[in-house]
Amino acid sequence: MTDLKNRFMLMLSDEPTAPNDLESIVSAGRRARRRRQAAMAAVSTIGVAGLTTAVAVPIAMTGGTGSDDKVGVQAQQKPSPSPSATRGNCYLIAAKPKAAKLTLQRFVRSGKVGDHPEVTQMRALKDGRTVLQVCSPGASASQPTDEAAEPPTGPPYHYTEQPEDIAARLGAHLTNRVTNWGLDITYTRPFAQETSTLEKGHPAYFDGNVDVHEAQGYGDIGVQVTHKTTEQVPFTGDCNAADNCEETTLDDGSVLRTGEVKAGPGLTVVTAEVHRPDGVVVQAQMSNYPFGPDAGTQDHGDQPLSLKQLISLAQDPDFTF
């Protein structure tokens, strides 16, 4: 260690207690994600007219098709890929032809898309500006948008329950399952879905979780149920996305994946997810640490369930909508 580093450390001797504002950070992060996704959707399909000249909006990690807000249903052929499966960014730039070159040069200098980005002309706007898609090398650029592009195929999906009823039913069922294992629930995050993933007002997925107290401390159990009509919720994708991942095809044709992810020193999240033949994916997770608002002061426990119990949650047919 250098002398300078030692002296930096001495500067920290009067460190005050850190604020406990993790909840507000998470809330702000959720809002920021929603704003970002809303901006992506607005840019990609509604039009870029509202954007000022030379505003670049990140449209997605690679693979973004810019069709987030299209309404309709497409059968999911396979689980959504992990966001880590591809690399690079794509951005949309709206600029007038004379300013486009300069705008691009500035954008390249920003380093966001590398020195040799792939540029695709998407379309011309009524005010004379042109929409360009700028992707870092290797990022899979989407095809130029055609106004008359076909909407997603398939009939609209009609939910048979109101979203709040679905949330209440799933939440009650998780509570029932957990308490039947003799665990004390200390915090409940009701089943909900991010509003940004609504498809024409319908929820694409629900998730909720409960913190539980077991002999050694606190842990958490959560379930996420995703309907077959969405490809917006990333799951573990390839089995190698998690440690000790195992994939098994069950008798009914479902695919069961189990694995674990290290979330930090001594912190582990264990996942069991079942991809059912009807397209529903249920992901059950447990962790040896709590998620609730008191998480910072609670002792970490052991994993609250056995792997067998966790798998039974993922296979539970009542987790559906």
What is the contact surface with another protein in residues (CB under 8 A)? 2-5, 7-8, 10-12, 15-16, 18-19, 21-22, 24-26, 28-30, 32-33, 36, 61, 82-84, 110-111, 189, 194, 207-209, 220, 222, 224, 233-235, 241, 261, 263-265, 267, 269, 271, 283, 285, 287, 289, 291, 295-296
Choose between 92 and 131: whose C-beta lies nearer to another protein: 92
Give the position of tokens 């993790």.
Answer: 22
Supply the minimum distance, in Å, between the C-beta of residue 41 and another protein: 15
- Give, rounded to a whole angstrom, the gap between the first and last alpha carbons of the chain: 57
Cβ(273)–Cβ(314) under 8 Å? Answer: yes
Supply the minimum distance, in Å, between the C-beta of residue 181 and another protein: 19
Choose between 127 and 246: whose C-beta lies nearer to another protein: 246
Choose between 22 and 49: whose C-beta lies nearer to another protein: 22
Supply the minimum distance, in Å, between the C-beta of residue 74 and another protein: 20
Choose between 65 and 130: whose C-beta lies nearer to another protein: 65
Supply the minimum distance, in Å, between the C-beta of residue 284 and another protein: 10
Per-position b or e across 176-195, b if 16+ CB within 10 A of its CB = ebbeeeebeebbebebbbbe
Residues 6+ apart with CB under 8 A from 242: 236, 257, 259, 260, 261, 271
Choose between 7 and 78: whose C-beta lies nearer to another protein: 7
Rounded to 10 degrees, the C-alpha dihedral 42/46/47/53 comes to -30
